[in-house]
Structures are given as C-alpha cells and as structure tokens.
Amino acid sequence: MIKMIFCLRRLPELSLEEFQTYWRERHAPLVAELGPLLRIRRYVQSHSFEHPQLAGPVAARGATVPPYDGVAELHWDSIDDLVAVNDSKEARDAGRRLLEDERNFIDLSQSPLFWVRENHVI
C-alpha cells in the first residue's frame, strides 16, 4: 500500500473553522463519491487544533514554520493502481473535479504533498 500525505493550509480569507467545515462537509463527500473512480482505498482527514496543555512538545522543538491546518491521507493498494487511473478519462475528470474543489478552500501553493510507505513501529 502507498499513501499520499497532503499538508493543508487554508486560503487566507478563511477562518480555521470555515476551512475545516468546508473540508469536512463539502470536500469529504466529493472524495467519497469520486474515490472508487480514482481507486482510493482510504481517505483520512486530520484537523488541527490547539490546546494549552499540549503546547509543550511543539514549543520544545522550536519550529519556525507555521503549523498546518490539517493533513489528508489518501491510500492506494499499489503504484500500479494509482498509475492506472490515468488510463480512464472518467478518472482523470474526477481528479480535475477534486482539484477544482480544493481551490475553494486550500492554499495550494503553501500545501505540500508527498508519497510515503508506512513503517509500523507500535
């Protein structure tokens, strides 16, 4: 299984609540609808939050990069499955629909994505 990690930052005109509501209530159903065409096996949204009792680990690392507003994880069975999506016009159109919708709430230029293979430890 391979996974895409998408670290999201919201558009500057959106509050965190507006961003997370749109992502949860508008974008997630679209991913659920189009997921089978794109051979997505699993889609997980992780919404950021702050809590004063949890600030220590963040502060201890001295990070100067602003935190993300959320992280999306998309899973496919294999690279071959993911590449095969390009063979279908319907799937390519579905991918374009998702990208169009992402432009409604994600600052794409500030939201990197990358591919990973998990290494389970615990």
pLDDT in tens, 57-101: 777 887 777 889 999 999 999 999 999 998 999 999 999 999 999
Distance, in Å, from the CA atom of 37 to the CA atom of 92, rounded to the nearest integer, reads: 9
CB 7 within 8 A of CB 115: no
CATH number of the domain residue 97 falls in: 3.30.70.100
Supply the mean pLDDT for the chain: 93
Q: pTM of whole model > 0.95?
A: no
Instruction: Look at residue 120 in the predicted model and tell me its pLDDT.
Output: 87
Torsion of CA 19, 24, 26, 27, to 10 degrees: 90
Domain limits for position 81: 2-48+67-116
N-terminal to C-terminal alpha carbon distance within the chain:
18
Number of folded domains that form the chain: 1
Q: Looking at the domain assignment, is residue 121 inside a domain?
A: no
